Structures are given as structure tokens and as C-alpha cells.
Amino acid sequence: MQTIRVETPSARYDVFVGSGLLRSLAPRIERIAGRLPRRIFVLTSPEIWALWGKALSESFPEPPLALFLPAGEKHKNLVNVEKMARQMIAAGGDRSSLLIAFGGGIVGDVGGFLAAIFMRGIRYVQVPTTFLAQVDSSVGGKTGVNLPEGKNLIGSFHHPLAVFADIGVLGTLPDRELRSGLMESIKAGIIRDRTLVRFMEEHVDDVLRRDPKALEKVIAASVRMKADVVNRDERESGLRMILNFGHTLGHAIEQVTRYKALLHGEAVGWGMIAALHLAKKRGTISSRQGERLESLVYLYGPLPPLKLRPGKLVAASGSDKKNTGGVRRFVLPVGIGDAGVVEDVTPAELESAAAYMLARAAERHA
């Protein structure tokens, strides 16, 4: 097991990465919270609960009460948050209650947000069950739900008491989701950890056949990178921006395809291909570095095909809520293991990067 400390001005907690965490959850929570809260709720999906609910419950003196959120972005909304808050009240939930967010990124975001606003904030822990949630969304305190107008437009910063990333739970994760999640690890390596880049290049087979040691290594390194960035910039004012590497066009792809055709990591994978091209053009990475990193993305593919027009993607990227005041921020890798933010990327450059990406997508699915 590896333990990564998250330490921001407003919170301090640990992310545990390892095997067997699920079955020892109650004593672990007890150690951190002082004692087990009287009322414990688990926000989860019916699918995860069917597979892993028994394992999670068995260490608790009485089983936590499950609140179910159906799978899919369309259920990530305020109506469901209200519904679950009412279930908590009906079951005697109060300010001393604890919530366990047990599922993928959506469950984590909704669970964190529910904990943030239930009686003005209760404690919660994250038990992410997808690779993506383990390396990314469960760390950093961002919580939220969608509006019809866009994703995560409603939310809070609310840190968990702890994050328990159990490698074992990934055993039932569909292959496509694993590969998609690994894109965020590739991102982590590119922007901040060249050792991780090297490890992922050299252990493709181990990682993809879910060797626990290899997974623990990749997940812990990814979490360490994110925690390190979050620790220095909790509220996303500066450094935290670099976590958006690959996300400008990644989000644009998701928007244009209405979040239906690609998984988040897959869209980020393509977004990184585009961003690497722009970085090569600008000379922040060499051609050789660019090719090496592009190959790494493909090693953990396949990425789904894209049939889009570059102009449409560029237009969609402008509506990214992270662009405050109309400035178009863009993250570029600097060599391997570093990155910076530029604000002067032109629509033409963005369009050229999108065109490059779409050409690669066409080649690979010809």
C-alpha cells in the first residue's frame, strides 16, 4: 500500500492506494474519524453495489445505508442530490453523519457535493471504483453536478476525510474504461513525472493485464502528481491549470459529441495528441519527444474514431468555463515531465492542432 498526503490551506488527508482496502474500511475510517459515526451512508450505483457492496459492508458493525445513483451523466443533477438528501433525513442523518462515495467519477462528484451541502457540510470519504476516479477525480476536492447547459456548472470545493483506492475493485472494470483512465496517468507523466512516462512505456503489458504491483505504481504516481499540484494551488488559480493538459480540445470533443461517443479519458487522449502537435510547432518539445509521447498514447489505445470538423471543435473550445474573462488558456508540455500555460494560442493554431489530430484519427481507423 502507498499513502499520499494531500495538504491544502483548508484540508489535510491521505489517499491510500493498495489491495484489500475495501474489506478493512470500517477500522480505517474509525482510525481517521476518531470513532465510527452513528449514521453512515453509501452513495453508489446499483451495478457497483451488486458487485462489491458485500465486501464494503462486511467490516461495519451495521451495514451502511445505500443511496443509489443510476449510471450515466444524465443522472448527475440537482434533482437526484435533493432526492438523496431527503433519503438521508428520513433515515435519521444529521451533521455527524458520514457519507461514503463508492463508485466512479460521477458518484464521486455527486457524493462529494451531497456531503458538501447536506446540513451545510458533513464528512465523507471517497472509495473510487474506476481507474479514472482513482487517479483523478477523487483527489482535489472538486465536487459537483451538471446543468442542462453544461457539466459541473454547479458544485463546491469539499475535501474528503480520506480516499481509499482499492486496486482489487478494478478487477471488474471493463477494459475500455481502464484504457481510458490510463490517459490521465499518461497526462500526469507528461506534465510532471518523466519516471512515470518511462514506467508506462516499459510496462504496457503488466498494466493492461492489471498486475496489482504495476497498477499500484501507476495509480500512486498519478495521485502523487495531482496531490502535489493541488497542494500548491487548491483553488485552481494558477498551477492547477496544468492539469488541463489535453483537456481544451478533449472537452471540445466531448461537447461536440454530446458526451456520448467517447469516454472522458479517450477524449483527453485525442486532446493530448492535438496539444503535443501544437507543442512541437511551438518548440516547447522536440519532434522526437513529440513522437515518443504520441506513441505512448497509442500504446494504451485504441482511441475511438472521430468524425468532426476542426472549426467546430475550435468553436466549442471557446465555451470552456475555465476560460475566464475571454482569455484562451492552453497547457503545453515543456520537454518530458514539465508543462506551462500560455494565453496567446490563436484560433488558427488551435484549428491546425485539431486538424492534425483528426488526420491521425482518420489514419488509425482507415
Judged by CB under 8 A, the stretch of 63-71, 117-125, 207-215, 278-286 that binds a copy of itself is 117-125
All three cell numbers of 308 = 468532426
Residue 96 in contact with a copy of itself, rule: CB under 8 A: yes
Structural contact between residues 243 and 192, judged by C-beta atoms closer than 8 angstroms = no
Q: Which helix (H) or strand (E) holds 186?
A: helix 175-192
User: 106 or 183, CB closer to a copy of itself?
Assistant: 106
Q: Which of 287, 325, 343, 366 binds a copy of itself (CB under 8 A)?
A: 325
Judged by CB under 8 A, the stretch of 87-95, 263-271, 333-341, 345-353 that binds a copy of itself is 87-95
Distance CA 136, CA 185 (A): 9
Distance CA 187, CA 300 (A): 12
Q: Which of 82, 172, 283, 311 binds a copy of itself (CB under 8 A)?
A: 82
Q: Which of 62, 149, 343, 344 binds a copy of itself (CB under 8 A)?
A: 149
Given the residues 123, 142, 187, 217, select the one marked as catalytic. 142
Q: Which helix (H) or strand (E) holds 4?
A: strand 2-8
Given the residues 123, 158, 226, 280, select the one marked as catalytic. 226
- Let me know if 251 is a catalytic residue: yes
Structural contact between residues 332 and 340, judged by C-beta atoms closer than 8 angstroms = yes
Q: What track of x and - describes contact with a copy of itself for positions 269 through 308 (by CB under 8 A)?
A: ----------------------------------------
* Shortest Å distance, C-beta 106 to a copy of itself: 16
150, amino acid identity = G
- Let me know if 244 is a catalytic residue: yes
Dihedral over alpha carbons 73, 240, 98, 41 (to 10 degrees): 20
Given the residues 146, 177, 187, 244, select the one marked as catalytic. 244
Strand partners, 166: 18
151 is in an annotated binding site: yes
184 is in an annotated binding site: yes
Residue 35 in contact with a copy of itself, rule: CB under 8 A: no
CB atoms within 10 A of CB 362: 12
Q: What is the CA radius of gyration of the chain?
A: 20
Structural contact between residues 300 and 183, judged by C-beta atoms closer than 8 angstroms = yes
Distance CA 33, CA 17 (A): 19
Q: Which of 20, 72, 121, 311 binds a copy of itself (CB under 8 A)?
A: 121
Annotation: binding site for Zn(2+): 184, 247, 264
Hey, which residues are catalytic here?
120, 142, 184, 226, 236, 240, 244, 247, 251, 264
